[in-house]
Structure 1
């Protein structure tokens, strides 16, 4: 039984909380705790009623970085990278640097110069204690330099195999595509990867780097990636990776099986299809064709199209036939999607308005020239006016929708034009909303073929995500050597892999959420450390620990991912 006793020392009374018990039949004090003097006890009681304000608080990023760290730890990412890299046991390992870079890219992309500051404000500082000099840009570059092409390829091969087995990822139908990212590499740089090319982000003023990716249809998890020169055409790049894709699939599956590869028409070529369809590891294919490749199928009467079944294909119709595609008999579907037609029509109407205005402006200038109101500059010719007209009508379908007549005059050129209503009706009936698919999966239903083709949106979504400024952004690419650019792409793709797998884990527990939303919600979970002033000269700094207030959604994600074990406690 506990009681409070008083002891007098040097004319002062001190109080203790004691517990007594019988020892060898006699009462003895077996435990005591010093409580202080009477005024100390009174002050403690008063402070308990009115808690003191902390001297300051430390707020650390908890949710997103912890979830990604935990997932990477469970998948043994660091060790899998380190086993392929030769480095002395000093400082942080190469695998650790790559994981830190990947988590940073996923949560809050920042430069290497600002990395140390970001790191110190996250829970990663507690999981992976690192000194400031470990996280300088120079240390990052040094460790990036140790990661060879062979090491990255070996890791990706083993990691892809590991996650396919661990998560039972669907590998019967995979999606391949390529994109590019602009860089700030100097124009005079000797690097081979950054090149002037057709920037998909319309940055013609900058060099670009290409990135090819193969993903699973479920949760768009990357199973293969490769960086390539930004000026390489898609078909040329695809030709260079076909054998690598087959090798990667072989390592994942171990034995030949039916696999269908989905890709867009930019990768089409006779040689590419032949190589995909040959050998022990032959791929089935689903692709698209240009209208010019199947002119005979362009004017099919809409009455010959059949509706697709299922809510996901509402309003869609198809015409099915067999057709020779790249010297092989293929099943060809001409699909009609009313939503696609509607969207295309909106674009056409906007372009019609713009082109009409520009043609009227050109026509007016030519009339002023003939009337003598404009005398400066070169006299227009039929050829020069035709060039201007061609430039105005360069957008898709515009040349078909305007009838233009150009005739010479004494001092100028006469331009007349008219809108071709019948041509617009032809586009509506036979062209708009149409997509031509081809496949060697002859026994597949129309619905299965269309669904497989539409799965391309997974990789398009992945590329869109990798150009998101808030999460998983590949840009800006400030590196200027080929090796560093490849490593940059390596940990950016690793970041996407981890986020997609984390998203899948939440989905399996009933939490359906986008990757962006997932990272935003998790990032709002903070670790809060309240720090109080020392009491007396010999007192210790007091700290209390808590998480920021969580919404029901945050709590559910915390529980699902079992992140509570990582929060700090006093």
Structure 2
């Protein structure tokens, strides 16, 4: 809440902040009134202080954990415990924090946010969260994932699973990290077994990427159990699709040029409600010596984005070549032909630019060399028509095209979620925190369980007609706040009142969807 002094009186506004281009900015303001007006709106006299806090995201995630009976399930795995705060409660708090405020220290989040008022039984402190999580042995981690997965599957009708590799899972900061270049002490990837319906994690296999011990893609997916394998273009070469069964993946567009020249009329729309602007050609082609089902998709959104990116790339290249030509003509560039060729190669490096941009040199001696560049407009048109917006999927499944696309995009959604949950570098609770194997495993479990809860929420929002990423969903929910008014003591404990903020229709729909039914 912020106050603005106008004409000797202070007027209060509810301000919501967010990062814009990496910097904190006030993005919305709501007028609340003067202190007198606020006091009249709330019985009990004028408050001594007022504080705004986000509420909706914490309440929604906590309601989801309660729906999964998370605390009891984890405590059943842990067995008898002497600690006042059980492992189930501690892990639930860690997951709640990771899902809603991953960039905020957990003690600060607990002291200033809404979690302390929602968690029941009430927990007095979270100072010992990491010490408690060190009780997570590999066996307990596996059993916790199993019991939470069982709870998720009780909610779903479709129990089909996908195996997905997320190599950019997290970077764990080195102890006493002071320079950004020295912060990435351990690079980790994770193999995941997720639901086909919603890409909700059911199990994980964490591995290191920086010490040469990372498993092969095929070995990793074999460890995850029965599931349909999801792979991207870069992983296709590691797999023998001629002998493999149960997969959905993408192939290089250049592998099947005959499909790229098919007219747009050959493609059909794919579920306009779920995939606006997506069309597909469902056909067959020979892949690794076997005739397989292939689906050529075209996304209008992706096409527009790739066209803009290529236009920028081409403009930069032509600007640099024009600068080089000008320097050669003015005599300020005295390099020989080999040096000029090297500069041209640097500017036009990239398969797409080389297709459309050529540079012709005349003259042989330094000072006499001239450059003329040409853009092949017909090649630009072919590139735009044949490549932009397209993706080539291959599968041995007989699912509808929409389900194949959904399965393939599971990895993209998970990568986006983990970028939000783990950030550029995961730091420990103290400056000299050493990321041991056990601590990395515990953090991995917390992040995977946070993804489990938030992807379950995303699935439910999608089924309610709200197609949002996890980040977009949580940002919408975080915009549902409350004003905490604290009144001076009149002899007893100071009284606190809470006023909910106004909600727009989208926020109200989400609040209704996730509100706790206690």
Q: TM-score range by the shorter chain?
A: 0.7 to 0.9
Q: Distance in 2 between matches of 1:465 and 1:319?
A: 30
Q: Distance in 2 between matches of 1:522 and 1:308?
A: 38
The answer as to 2:313 corresponding to 1:351 is yes
1:270-324 per-position Cα deviation (integer Å, ceiling 9, x unaligned): 54646752xxxxx2x22221134335x2664538x62315662787665555333
Q: Distance in 2 between matches of 1:54 and 1:545?
A: 9
Q: Distance in 2 between matches of 1:231 and 1:386?
A: 37
1:496-520 per-position Cα deviation (integer Å, ceiling 9, x unaligned): 2222334555667x58474544564
* 8 Å Cα contact 1:175/1:456 also seen in 2: no
Computed over aligned residues only, the root mean square deviation of the Cα atoms, in angstroms, reads: 4.1
1:224 match? 203
Q: Distance in 1 between matches of 2:230 and 2:287?
A: 16
Question: Secondary structure at the residue paired with 1:80?
Answer: helix
* 8 Å Cα contact 2:248/2:407 also seen in 1: no
1:208-246 per-position Cα deviation (integer Å, ceiling 9, x unaligned): 43244443343332223333334599x964223221232
1:244 match? 223
Alignment of 1:208-219 (within 5 A): 208-219=187-198
* 8 Å Cα contact 2:249/2:408 also seen in 1: no
* 8 Å Cα contact 1:351/1:395 also seen in 2: no
2:284 match? 322
Which one has the largest radius of gyration?
A: 1
Question: Secondary structure at the residue paired with 1:246?
Answer: coil
1:477 match? 426
2:68 match? 75
Q: Distance in 1 between matches of 2:284 and 2:462?
A: 40
Q: Distance in 1 between matches of 2:499 and 2:211?
A: 50
Q: 2:234 aligns with which of 263, 266, 278?
A: 266
Q: Distance in 2 between matches of 1:230 and 1:544?
A: 50
Q: Distance in 1 between matches of 2:480 and 2:497?
A: 17
Q: Distance in 1 between matches of 2:461 and 2:277?
A: 33
Q: Distance in 1 between matches of 2:87 and 2:232?
A: 36
How far residue 398 of structure 1 moved from its aligned partner, in angstroms, is 0.6
* 8 Å Cα contact 1:177/1:213 also seen in 2: yes
2:138 match? 149
1:185 match? 173
The answer as to 2:263 corresponding to 1:302 is yes
The answer as to 2:344 corresponding to 1:389 is yes
1:460 match? 412
How far residue 390 of structure 1 moved from its aligned partner, in angstroms, is 1.9
Question: Secondary structure at the residue paired with 2:426?
Answer: coil
How many residues of Structure 1 are paired with residues of Structure 2 in the alignment?
A: 459
Q: Distance in 1 between matches of 2:514 and 2:366?
A: 78
Q: Distance in 2 between matches of 1:63 and 1:156?
A: 26
Q: 1:365 aligns with which of 327, 340, 365?
A: 327
Q: Distance in 2 between matches of 1:204 and 1:402?
A: 40
TM-score w.r.t. length of structure 1: 0.67
2:390 match? 434
Q: Distance in 2 between matches of 1:311 and 1:263?
A: 23
Q: Distance in 2 between matches of 1:530 and 1:205?
A: 43
Gap change, CA 1:294 and 1:55, over 3 Å in 2: closer
Q: Which moved more, 1:384-393 or 1:410-419?
A: 410-419
Gap change, CA 1:310 and 1:227, over 3 Å in 2: closer
How far residue 355 of structure 1 moved from its aligned partner, in angstroms, is 0.5
Q: Distance in 1 between matches of 2:111 and 2:53?
A: 8
2:89 match? 96
Q: 1:403 aligns with which of 331, 348, 358?
A: 358
Q: Distance in 1 between matches of 2:145 and 2:483?
A: 33
* 8 Å Cα contact 2:186/2:208 also seen in 1: no
Q: 1:548 aligns with which of 488, 500, 503?
A: 500
TM-score w.r.t. length of structure 2: 0.73
* 8 Å Cα contact 2:164/2:231 also seen in 1: yes
Question: Secondary structure at the residue paired with 1:73?
Answer: helix
Q: 1:159 aligns with which of 120, 143, 148?
A: 148
Question: Secondary structure at the residue paired with 2:419?
Answer: coil
1:143-173 per-position Cα deviation (integer Å, ceiling 9, x unaligned): 3322233322222133213311x21253447
* 8 Å Cα contact 2:268/2:281 also seen in 1: no
Gaps of 5+ in 2: 1-42, 429-434
How far residue 263 of structure 1 moved from its aligned partner, in angstroms, is 3.2
1:424-447 per-position Cα deviation (integer Å, ceiling 9, x unaligned): 233244433432222223x56xxx
Q: Distance in 2 between matches of 1:92 and 1:478?
A: 24
Alignment of 1:286-301 (within 5 A): 286-295=248-257, 297=258, 300=261
